[in-house]
Amino acid sequence: MKSIVSLVLSIILIIGCKSTGNQNERIEDIQEHRGARPDQPVKEIVRSFHDDSTMVYFPGGEIQIGAESDIPPHGPPFQMYIKPFYLDIHPVTVSMFRRFIEETGYRTDAEKFGNSGVFDPKRFQWELVEGANWKYPFGKGNKPAQNDHPVTHVSWNDAVAYCQWAGKRLPTEFEWEYAARNGRNNGNKYPWGNEIRPGGKYTANYWQGDITDKQGKDGFIYTSPAGYYGTLESGLTDMAGNVWEWCSNPFSPYPNSGNFFDIEPNSRAIRGGSFFYDQAGEESLAVYFRSSNTIETSLFNMGFRCAADASEENK
């Protein structure tokens, strides 16, 4: 059984390609997902890989990583060159993950442990719930996971296994931030701009207020369907809120930040915030916000999306 100590430590950390079709088909794809007009710039979309996902191409280049922040892990900012890459439009959904399980017979870490982390809103505490896994987010006997929602209760190990099956990989947190910034150094705090609710409209699934506050103003109490809030400038969806997303790299201090925390060898970066409460509040949705968890940990508010290298063959 998974150690409750490991879970608690993990929770503290959280809080603290070959293309198919021609170019015209790709243009139609991106216009469909973005509601784009013919005069709008179009990002390349590629449908391929074993999971039949749709991905956005990012050309790469120099971009600022991090920010001047009062929360130490997120700065100081520095410039970094990002190589061209592809990124899934949305997090891996329950239906996509089910296909992987059915084709491979893979057992997730939560299924092996027999339990996974769920927050009990009545007791206001985290618990290891018996039988909680990607199929049953709140344990067997409760409502099953919805097919079009991001898969949850997946560890970093599980995410890596899926990516390998799909012929892809997890993104680095730097690629993830590049994508969240829409590939541009525009200084925006959130993937959609600087206002958390532009025009009073919710643009992501996130926690409103304190831990005890009633939820649902954004339309959901827990996860929301992938892509529910529309697409960003880049063509991506769900780059803030809904579920934390696993990244490939270990969680470590940024250059020139000082050694303000001990590096946990088994920790990996997570990005994007989630539907659930975070002590950082709306800051957790910022493009530069980062946290971590250990590779075997699975929770009801963590998922992932895949990336892929962009070679001459699939550009």
Q: How many domains, in total, are found in the chain?
A: 1
Residue 313 burial class via C-beta count within 10 angstroms: exposed 0-12, middle 13-18, buried 19 and up: exposed
Query: Per the structure block, which two tokens stand in for 295?
Result: 């590779």
> Does any domain span residue 69?
yes
Q: Which amino acid is at 168?
A: K
Phi-psi region of 300 (alpha: psi -120 to 50; beta: other; left: phi over 0): alpha
Residue 81: closest CA among 169, 185, 152, 3: 185
pLDDT at res. 303: 98
CA separation (Å) from 167 to 3, 18, 91, 164, 170? 32, 10, 16, 5, 11
Q: Label residues 183-219 b or e (16+ Cβ within 10 Å = b).
A: beeeebbbbbeeebeeeeebbbbbbbeeeeeebeebe
Q: Does 150 map to a domain? A: yes
In terms of Cα–Cα distance, which of 291, 293, 292, 272 is closest to 282?
Answer: 272
**What pLDDT was estimated at residue 30?**
31
* Ranges assigned E (strand) in 109-228: 115-120, 125-130
End-to-end CA distance of the chain: give it in Å, rounded. 45
Q: Which residues 6+ apart lie within 8 Å of 229 measured at CB?
A: 202, 203, 204, 205, 237, 238
Under a CB-based contact definition with an 8 Å cutoff, are residues 196 and 285 in contact?
yes
Domain enclosing residue 199, as ranges:
4-309
**Domain-embedded: residue 315:** no
What is the structure's pLDDT at 73?
87
What per-residue confidence (pLDDT) applies to 257? Answer: 81
- Residue 311 has what pLDDT? 67
State the Cα–Cα distance between residues 81 and 60, nearest whole angstrom: 7
* Averaged pLDDT in 10-residue chunks for the chain of 315 residues: 42 36 32 34 67 93 89 87 96 98 98 97 92 97 97 98 98 98 94 95 95 93 97 96 97 82 86 96 96 97 97 49
Q: How many CA atoms lie within 13 A of 273 on its CB side?
A: 27
**314 falls within a domain:** no
**Cα 290 to the chain's mean position, in Å?**
11
Residue 118 lies in a domain: yes
Q: Residue 59 sits in a domain of what CATH number?
A: 3.90.1580.10
CA distance 37 to 210: 40
**How many other CB atoms are there within 10 angstroms of residue 35's CB atom?**
9
Dist CA 138 CA 221 (whole Å): 13
pLDDT in the model for residue 260: 66
